[in-house]
Structure 1
Amino acid sequence: MKKIHIIGLGLLGGSFALVIKKKRPDLIVTGFDQSAKHLEQAIALGMITEAKEQPDPDTDVVVLATPVDTLTNLLEQTLNQTGDRTLVFDFGSTKELICEKIGSHPKRANYLAVHPIAGTENSGPKAAEIGLFDGKVMIICEMEKTDVHLKGMAYELFELMNMKLRFMDPKEHDLHLAYVSHLSHVTSFMLGKTVLDKTADERHIFDMAGSGFASTVRLAKSSPAMWAPIFIENRKNLLQAMDSYIAHMQAFRDKIAAQDYEGLTDEMIDANKIRDILDLEKGR
């Protein structure tokens, strides 16, 4: 492996570039971003060796790190342009649609569907972190459909990133992500909006917001350009998750209105069980 090309040099693409360049300084890393400003910043930050819109024909790996609504067309275009020995993978957080649409492509074996469970509420090249992926999970979908020799390059890169590999069906991936990731972002965005609607005085928000509010609303600082396409693309699963969440909120509201102390306590004790799962994961 000698050449890597990255399309999309924001948080994920930029962080990938930083860690790979540190671990394998011998690699030639080229890249492109639709934003001229982001491309300029990526060059200044040393993320890429050279800026170019298309990868060289002999590029070993092409990484797609753009919003999910652009990925299918970009993947098809990239597979059409690159050679038979080039591996292409994307960092998109929805997988069912892209795997379905690319399934009959003549070069399907050149594609690996992956999703790094890593990120922050920040965006753009300046938000990139060299340790963003360290110790995090990389979900791989339809592994068996990718050429075994090309897959080896991906595993080498994931090892350099120090990621734990997990394997999932694309539909299963999107369903679970709707609940544990996408719903969290919806909730955070709407909590922020609710507070802003009620509390017009910014000073009151600043003075009265504790660490609990700050941590809960942190995701509301995320990029709408990234998250709106995710919400739309995974809407079937997300709407199911939102309906369940709204039902739980309504039931909890009713218990507060009825001054049902015991019912509220039981609900929160049930919710406390999530702590055991999260603590178990920390201890792994």
Structure 2
Amino acid sequence: MKNIYAIGVGLIGGSLAIDIKKNNPEAIIHGISRKDGTLEKALELNIIDKKATLDDLEHADLVIISIPVDATVKLLPTILDKISDDTLVVDAGSTKVDICKSVEDHPRRRNFLAMHPIAGTEHSGPTAALSGLFVGKTNIVCEVEKTTFKLQEKALKLFADIGMRIRYMNPEAHDKHIAYVSHLSHISSFMLGKTVIEKERNERDIFDMAGSGFASTVRLAKSSPEMWTPIFKQNKTNVIETLEEYINNLTQFKEFMQKDDFDAIYSEMESTNYIKDILKGIS
């Protein structure tokens, strides 16, 4: 794959471009963004080799879409309209149901592979891109049977070569599970940050007491609202379900406190320690 077009050159798109280029030095990385300043920064950082536009996609061997999920839903049919019959198109969105539905009847649906690399940081933009982000990380692939086999093979080899582990899932299961392990984590972090900021307005010394536990828990609150608001919107039903369960657990914890039932609190925490075994080996 020589001509690679990255639509979105921030954390995910930029990191993919860096590692694909490292493994395929002959590849030419073309960047596409609605902001010219973003492309200039990506050029300066050697993430991309050239600027491009959507009209150039007829020359693409591979198109990587790493933009907010609402923009992907709107743009994906147009991208498939513009590519050649041999082009592979992949997206890296954190929701999959709406994206897959947007092209389910498109005549070039076979050229599209829906995926979600479970990797990232709280940072965004080209300066956040880094080499090795995907080593050992899981890449969820949805509806693989709808992608023509020769393009499946190319995609899976490409992403295995940069260190990803491939797992297959249908879009509905993906969106339900990711609401628990990613979307809820971000909401919790944003709301913890909000709670502390509101307290800080009256008690200026509070951040002097913030240790590593607070910093790690609230880290995700630095994530881009431009990216995360569309994710919550597209996965609304699943996110509300997870929030209801989370709120119920918080309410129960509060009731234990009110009743001075610290044996129950100890038991809750002890049983939850089992998560250490579940997460063992996950970085």
TM-score by length of 2: 0.97
Structure 1 residue matching 2:114: 3-state secondary structure: strand
Contact 2:57–2:82, Cα closer than 8 Å, also in 1: no
Structure 1 residue matching 2:280: 3-state secondary structure: helix
Structure 1 partner of 2:20: 20
Superposition deviation, residue 203 in structure 1: 5.3
**Equivalents in 1 of 2:44, 2:272: separation in Å?**
46
Contact 2:57–2:79, Cα closer than 8 Å, also in 1: no
Superposition deviation, residue 21 in structure 1: 1.4
Comparing 75-84 and 29-38, the one that deviates more: 29-38
Structure 1 residue matching 2:201: 3-state secondary structure: coil
Structure 2 partner of 1:171: 172
Superposition deviation, residue 67 in structure 1: 0.2
**Equivalents in 2 of 1:159, 1:275: separation in Å?**
27
CA change 1:35–1:144 in 2 (3 A) is same
Structure 1 partner of 2:74: 73
Structure 1 partner of 2:199: 198
Give the alignment of 1:50-199 within 5 angstroms: 50-54=50-54, 55-199=56-200
**Equivalents in 2 of 1:229, 1:202: separation in Å?**
34
CA change 1:99–1:248 in 2 (3 A) is same
The residue type paired with residue 121 of structure 2 is T
Aligned pairs, number: 282
TM-score by length of 1: 0.96
CA offsets, 1:203-256, max 9 Å, x none?
523310011111000000000001011011101000000000000000000001
**Equivalents in 2 of 1:255, 1:46: separation in Å?**
55
Structure 1 residue matching 2:205: 3-state secondary structure: helix
CA offsets, 1:106-155, max 9 Å, x none?
11101000000000000000011111111111000000110001112212
Structure 2 partner of 1:40: 40
The residue type paired with residue 277 of structure 2 is D
RMSD between superposed Cα atoms in Å:
1.3
Superposition deviation, residue 15 in structure 1: 0.6
Structure 2 residue matching 1:192: 3-state secondary structure: helix
CA offsets, 1:256-284, max 9 Å, x none?
111101111111112111111011546xx
Q: Does residue 242 in structure 1 map to residue 250 in structure 2?
A: no
Superposition deviation, residue 71 in structure 1: 0.5
Structure 2 partner of 1:232: 233
Structure 2 residue matching 1:57: 3-state secondary structure: helix
Superposition deviation, residue 160 in structure 1: 2.5
Q: Which runs of 5+ in 2 are unaligned?
A: none
The residue type paired with residue 44 of structure 1 is E
CA change 1:59–1:202 in 2 (3 A) is farther
**Equivalents in 2 of 1:233, 1:29: separation in Å?**
30
The residue type paired with residue 67 of structure 2 is T
The residue type paired with residue 188 of structure 2 is T
CA offsets, 1:61-89, max 9 Å, x none?
10100000100121100000111111101
Superposition deviation, residue 56 in structure 1: 4.1
CA change 1:202–1:53 in 2 (3 A) is farther
**Equivalents in 2 of 1:201, 1:38: separation in Å?**
38
Structure 1 residue matching 2:279: 3-state secondary structure: helix
The residue type paired with residue 18 of structure 2 is L
State the percentage of identical aligned residues. Answer: 49
Structure 2 residue matching 1:85: 3-state secondary structure: coil
Structure 1 partner of 2:275: 274
